[in-house]
Amino acid sequence: MCGISAIASHKQVASKLLNTLLNLEYRGYDSCGMSIYDGVQIQHKKNIGNVNEVNHKVDFLSMKGSTGIAHTRWATHGGVTMENSHPHPSNDNNFAIVHNGIFSNYQDLKEELIQKGYLFKSTTDTEVFSNLLQDEYRKSQNIEDAFCESLKKIEGSYAIAMITNYNPGVIYAVKKDSPLVIGVNDGTNYISSDINAFISETKDTILLGDFEYVIMTKDSYEVKKLSNRNKILKEVIKVKWDRETARRGGFSHYMLKEIFDQPQTIRNALQIQTDQLEEIARKFINKEQSFCVGVGTTYYIAMIGTYLFSKFANMYVPAISSDEYPNLIPVKKDHHVLFLSQSGETYDTRMAIRAAKNCGASTSAIVNVVGSSISQTVDHCIYQQSGPEICVVSTKAALSQIIILWQVALRVGVLRNKLTQKEADAFHDHLHEFAEIIEKVLNEESGFIRGLAMETSNINNWLFMGKGIYYPIALESALKMKEVTYLHAEGLPSGFLKHGTLAMVDENLYSLFFLPSREKTHLFESTLMAIEEVKTRKGKVVSFCLEDDTKTKELLDYYFVIPKIHSELTPLIELVMAQLFSYYSALHLGLNIDKPRNLAKSVTVG
Ligand code: F6R
């Protein structure tokens, strides 16, 4: 998982490449580098650290030339070292490449190349490709031949961009199972892992498909099929995201901005066309069994989906974590699987899709990133239109997925005659109201949540608990807390407590309970009972309640005040408040909130 950028221009490219790297940094930030053809030969600068740190060490802007490639890395094969950072030159320095993905057969290829006398400086899989290029060029003396023949030899997933001394001013790039997009402009053309990299320069974009390659100069591009080298005519898409959307918009962190974006992203999700939702809803009706699949946060969202389908459509839709999918045999020809993925690039989810398709199952997806691998692989894809999510941890994209699942569940409920259209419309209206209420909660409660986070940020161990739909809400909230604060937060069903975890409770243990509204009598009372169990053992309890609920307040050590809303929407309010609680806890601890240690935005490796 890494970010790739390549630019051919009529001007110097170092500063443009640097900007694209900064925009791609969320994809990985343990090392980075640049190679630029300086008029005589390719020059390289790279080192370990994030983009600004490396720039400080090596001074990218001193590099001269108008054609170059750049890379920001998240280590997979080979440790975080300068040798392993990209770009990787061939032994003779006539080729330089940047790569995202994994060459699964690189060890065999490396062995063969070593036998031929090639030397390897790094322990990466990537360097194999640079030397394969040199080796193939030696045979054919033709760059395109060398590029295509080298690609024939490799297996695995890749997005690659290459420059060569033999053809200055030209960039070669190709993709399979890893994202790559082209940006076209007057006199400067771009290739990148993500539209965000160049959105401030151009919105005219071309999506590259798997096994397609592009030969690009500053004022031309030619896309070809790898199998027969035939030219492909590609549509230029105008991206709607603007520069401002991709920026922090005055917030101190992307995470905070993205939490505050949520009223708008909910509205966007509510504007998704009915026929899009209908198409997926029909799959739930027409297929014998449906599943909801995602990983990490999106698995927890899939679990929330299970409760929504149960509630609104009286249908059991099990959630499966993509990474566990290969260990189960859940899917048959008559089944339908709905995949969730913000990035649309997650390896585990892509592999689960592949397995589902191999079984002949019908596939659909809810994805945020337009043109991403998952969106192109499934039978039907809904784009959630949340805009770019830059913070490594997911907030707005996750909530939008819930809103879309909610609408699909309502539609399935109507099709199954479990809900009338009138009832479904009423719920739809409540979701619109929810956008308003969230806006108010964010503006009015942030200060209080921040205060509480400051008071509790020294607590090292948390239990996050809930029952019913509040259980996956607790799991997701605990994940957020872990990711940004590095504190231990364990999510569990509150009914589980007395079956073991209660042993941990003493005056030092803090629990956050996701408490339903009183209208949900059974859920409310049984969650309250679990709170009592903790309180009896002197454990500290934080929870949510209405302003006038003095009885509940008396039981709690700390509480967040929630507004009076429809009882089905309470879990979503609590989810958003818990996002803020994690954010402010991490802020108080002075952590790198947008890029937590050891994590990266899209996990494209297994
Ligand atoms: C957590 C988080 C991750 C992702 C997971 C799947 O905040 O963002 O757990 O949810 O890596 O990513 P996508 O949704 O891109 O498939």
pLDDT of residue 385: 82
Site to probe by mutation for ligand 1, drawn from 178, 295, 320, 323 as the one with most ligand atoms within 8 Å of Cβ, is 295
> Topology of 251-419 in CATH?
Rossmann fold (3.40.50)
**How far is residue 145 CA from its own chain's centroid?**
35
Q: Determine whether the shortest distance from the Cβ of 483 to ligand 1 is under 6 A.
A: yes
Dist. CA 397 → ligand 1 center (Å): 9
Dist. CA 591 → ligand 1 center (Å): 20
| 429: pLDDT strictly greater than 80 | yes
| 53: pLDDT strictly greater than 90 | yes
pLDDT tens-digit profile of 505-545? 999 999 999 999 999 999 999 999 999 999 999 999 999 99
> What's the rounded Cα separation, in Å, for the pair 183 and 79?
32
Q: Which residues on neighbouring strands pair with residue 214, listed in sequence order? A: 173, 223
> What's the rounded Cα separation, in Å, for the pair 110 and 127?
9
| 128: pLDDT strictly greater than 80 | yes
Q: Which residues on neighbouring strands pair with residue 182, listed in sequence order? A: 191, 206
Q: Determine whether the shortest distance from the Cβ of 321 to ligand 1 is under 6 A.
A: no
Dist. CA 53 → ligand 1 center (Å): 26
> What's the rounded Cα separation, in Å, for the pair 63 and 325?
47
- Going by pLDDT thresholds of 50, 70 and 90, the confidence category of residue 1 is low
Which ligand 1 atom is at minimum distance from the Cα of 299? 10
- Going by pLDDT thresholds of 50, 70 and 90, the confidence category of residue 413 is very high
Closest CA to 220 of 15, 67, 371: 67
E-assigned strands of 181-285? Answer: 181-183, 188-192, 204-207, 212-216, 221-225, 231-232, 237-238
- The CA radius of gyration of the chain, in Å to the nearest whole number, is 26
Residue closest via CA to ligand 1's atom 13 equals: 341
pLDDT tens-digit profile of 539-596? 999 999 999 999 999 999 999 999 999 999 999 999 999 999 999 999 999 999 999 9
Site to probe by mutation for ligand 1, drawn from 258, 293, 298, 367 as the one with most ligand atoms within 8 Å of Cβ, is 298
The mean pLDDT value of the chain amounts to: 93
Alpha-carbon distances, residue 347 vs 102, 156, 385, 480, 496 (angstroms): 11, 12, 22, 21, 32
Helix axes 396-415, 421-456, angle to 10 degrees: 160
Tell me the two tokens of residue 94.
């006539």
pLDDT of residue 392: 94
> What's the rounded Cα separation, in Å, for the pair 149 and 159?
16
> What's the rounded Cα separation, in Å, for the pair 267 and 400?
9
Nearest 10 degrees: Cα torsion 458, 462, 466, 471: 110
Dist. CA 455 → ligand 1 center (Å): 29
| 244: pLDDT strictly greater than 70 | no
pLDDT of residue 567: 93
Site to probe by mutation for ligand 1, drawn from 74, 258, 259, 342 as the one with most ligand atoms within 8 Å of Cβ, is 342
- Going by pLDDT thresholds of 50, 70 and 90, the confidence category of residue 604 is confident
> What's the rounded Cα separation, in Å, for the pair 339 and 330?
14
The answer to whether 189 and 216 have CB atoms below 8 angstroms apart is yes
Please state the rounded mean pLDDT for residues 258-274.
91
Dist. CA 120 → ligand 1 center (Å): 34
| 30: pLDDT strictly greater than 90 | no
- Going by pLDDT thresholds of 50, 70 and 90, the confidence category of residue 171 is very high
Dist. CA 398 → ligand 1 center (Å): 9
> What's the rounded Cα separation, in Å, for the pair 445 and 105?
53
pLDDT of residue 246: 56
| 204: pLDDT strictly greater than 90 | yes
Residue closest via CA to ligand 1's atom 7 equals: 393
Closest CA to 87 of 127, 146, 29: 127
Q: Provide the annotated active-site residues.
A: 2, 601
The answer to whether 535 and 527 have CB atoms below 8 angstroms apart is no
Q: Which residues on neighbouring strands pair with residue 192, listed in sequence order? A: 5, 181
Q: Locate the domains of the chain by residue range.
A: 3-247, 251-419, 442-606
Which ligand 1 atom is at minimum distance from the Cα of 343? 15
> What's the rounded Cα separation, in Å, for the pair 296 and 461?
20
Tell me the two tokens of residue 236.
């230029």
Which homologous superfamily does the CATH classification assign to the domain defined by 442-606? Glucose-6-phosphate isomerase like protein; domain 1 (3.40.50.10490)
pLDDT tens-digit profile of 57-112? 999 999 999 999 999 987 766 778 999 999 999 999 999 999 998 898 999 999 99
Are 251-419 and 442-606 equal in CATH topology?
yes
Q: Determine whether the shortest distance from the Cβ of 346 to ligand 1 is under 6 A.
A: yes
The CATH code belonging to domain 3-247 is: 3.60.20.10
Q: Determine whether the shortest distance from the Cβ of 296 to ligand 1 is under 6 A.
A: yes
> What's the rounded Cα separation, in Å, for the pair 232 and 554?
69
Which ligand 1 atom is at minimum distance from the Cα of 297? 10
Tell me the two tokens of residue 192.
């990148």
Residue closest via CA to ligand 1's atom 5 equals: 296
Which ligand 1 atom is at minimum distance from the Cα of 392? 8
Q: What is the edge-to-edge ordering of all strands in the sheet holding 31-37?
A: 42-48, 31-37, 67-73, 2-9, 188-192, 181-183, 204-207, 237-238
| 29: pLDDT strictly greater than 80 | no
Residue closest via CA to ligand 1's atom 16 equals: 341
Q: Determine whether the shortest distance from the Cβ of 298 to ligand 1 is under 6 A.
A: yes
Dist. CA 26 → ligand 1 center (Å): 13
Residue found under tokens 């607790």: 474
Q: What is the edge-to-edge ordering of all strands in the sheet holding 171-176?
A: 88-89, 95-103, 156-164, 171-176, 212-216, 221-225, 231-232
Dist. CA 263 → ligand 1 center (Å): 21
- The two beta strands, 67-73 and 31-37, are antiparallel
The answer to whether 176 and 211 have CB atoms below 8 angstroms apart is yes
Half-sphere exposure of 596 (CA within 13 A, CB side): 21
Give the global pTM: 0.76
pLDDT of residue 75: 73
Tell me the two tokens of residue 423.
């009832």
Which ligand 1 atom is at minimum distance from the Cα of 348? 16
pLDDT tens-digit profile of 447-499? 999 999 999 999 999 999 999 999 999 999 999 999 999 999 999 999 999 89
Q: Determine whether the shortest distance from the Cβ of 394 to ligand 1 is under 6 A.
A: yes
Which ligand 1 atom is at minimum distance from the Cα of 298? 10
Q: Determine whether the shortest distance from the Cβ of 342 to ligand 1 is under 6 A.
A: yes
Q: Determine whether the shortest distance from the Cβ of 67 to ligand 1 is under 6 A.
A: no
Query: Residue 515: enclosing H or E segment and its boundaries?
Result: none
pLDDT tens-digit profile of 338-385? 999 999 999 999 999 999 999 999 999 999 887 788 988 999 999 888
* Alpha helices for 243-345 (secondary structure H): 254-260, 262-270, 274-286, 297-313
Dist. CA 515 → ligand 1 center (Å): 25
Which ligand 1 atom is at minimum distance from the Cα of 395? 7
Please state the rounded mean pLDDT for residues 315-328.
94
Q: With b meaning 16 or more CB within 10 Å and e meaning fewer, what string describes 520-554?
A: beebbeebbebbebbbeeebbbbbbbbeebeebee
Residue closest via CA to ligand 1's atom 11 equals: 296
Q: Determine whether the shortest distance from the Cβ of 297 to ligand 1 is under 6 A.
A: yes
Dist. CA 294 → ligand 1 center (Å): 8
